[in-house]
Amino acid sequence: MTIQIALFSLYFLLVFAIGWYCLRLTENETDYWIAGGKLGWLLGGATMGATHASAGTFVGTIGVIYTAGWSFAWIVLSIPIAYWFMAAVLAPRFTRSKKLTLPAFIEERYYSTAVRRLAAAIILIATVVYVQAQVIAGGIIGNIVFGISREAAMVGFTIILIAYTALGGMIAVVYTDLIQLIVMIAGVCAALPLAIRQVGGVDALMTSVSAVKPETFTWESFTPALLFTMGIAFTLGTIATPEKLVRLYAMRDMRAIRRGVLLAIVVATGLNLMIFVIALASIVLFPALPSGDLAMPMIARTVLPTVLGSVLLAAVAAAIMSTVDSLMLVAGSALSHDIYGTLRPESSPVKRLWIGRLGILIVGTVPVVLILSGVGEGELVQFIVLLFTALMASSFFVPVVVGVYWKRATREGAVASMLGGVVTCFSWEIWGSPGIDPVLPGLIASASLFVLVSLLTPPPPESAVAPYFDPVPF
34 residue type, one letter:
I
Distance CA 40, CA 121 (A): 31
401 is a domain residue: no
The CA radius of gyration of the chain, in Å to the nearest whole number, is 22
pLDDT of residue 56: 67
Cβ(76)–Cβ(290) below 8 Å: no
409 is a domain residue: no
- φ/ψ of residue 278, rounded to 5: -60, -35
158 is a domain residue: yes
Q: Is 39 helix (H, G, I), strand (E, B) or coil?
A: strand
pLDDT of residue 404: 94
Distance CA 197, CA 281 (A): 10
46 is a domain residue: yes
One-letter-per-residue 3-state SS of 227-258: HHHHHHHHHHHHHHCHHHHHHHHHECCHHHHH
420 is a domain residue: no
Q: Which residues contact 104 (CB under 8 A, 6 or more apart)?
A: 116, 337, 338
400 is a domain residue: no
Distance CA 262, CA 206 (A): 31
271 is a domain residue: yes
Distance CA 380, CA 398 (A): 28
One-letter-per-residue 3-state SS of 137-187: HHHHHHHHHHCCCHHHHHHHHHHHHHHHHHHHHHHHHHHHHHHHHHHHHHH
- The CB-side HSE value for 298 (13 A sphere, CA atoms) comes to 20
SS3 content of the chain, % helix, strand, coil (to 5): 85, 0, 15
Distance CA 353, CA 355 (A): 5
Cβ(294)–Cβ(141) below 8 Å: no
Q: Which of 93, 105, 106 is nearest to 469 (CA)?
A: 93
| Domains: count for the chain | 1
Distance of CA 136 to the CA centre of its chain: 15
Q: Give residue 70's domain range.
A: 2-388
Distance CA 129, CA 101 (A): 20
One-letter-per-residue 3-state SS of 206-227: HHHHHHHCHHHHCCCCCCHHHH
pLDDT of residue 149: 83
11 is a domain residue: yes
pLDDT of residue 167: 66
Per-residue b or e along 247-257, where b marks 16 or more CB atoms closer than 10 Å to that residue's CB: bbbbbbeeebb
Cβ(252)–Cβ(39) below 8 Å: yes
- φ/ψ of residue 39, rounded to 5: -70, 140
Burial classification of residue 100, based on how many CB atoms lie within 10 Å of its CB (0-12 exposed, 13-18 middle, 19 or more buried): buried
Q: What is the CATH number of the domain that holds 293?
A: 1.20.1730.10
Task: List per-residue pLDDT tens for the chain, 474 residues long.
Answer: 566 677 777 777 777 777 777 767 777 778 877 878 889 999 898 888 887 776 667 777 787 888 888 888 777 778 889 999 999 999 999 999 888 899 999 999 999 999 999 999 999 888 877 777 777 777 777 777 777 788 888 888 788 777 767 766 777 778 877 887 888 888 888 888 888 888 889 888 889 998 888 888 888 778 888 888 888 888 888 898 888 898 899 999 999 999 999 999 998 888 888 888 888 998 888 888 877 777 877 887 777 777 777 777 777 777 777 677 777 788 888 888 899 888 888 888 788 878 888 888 887 888 888 777 766 555 556 667 778 888 889 999 999 999 999 999 999 999 999 999 999 998 998 898 888 989 999 999 999 999 999 999 999 999 999 999 877 544
Q: Is 69 helix (H, G, I), strand (E, B) or coil?
A: coil
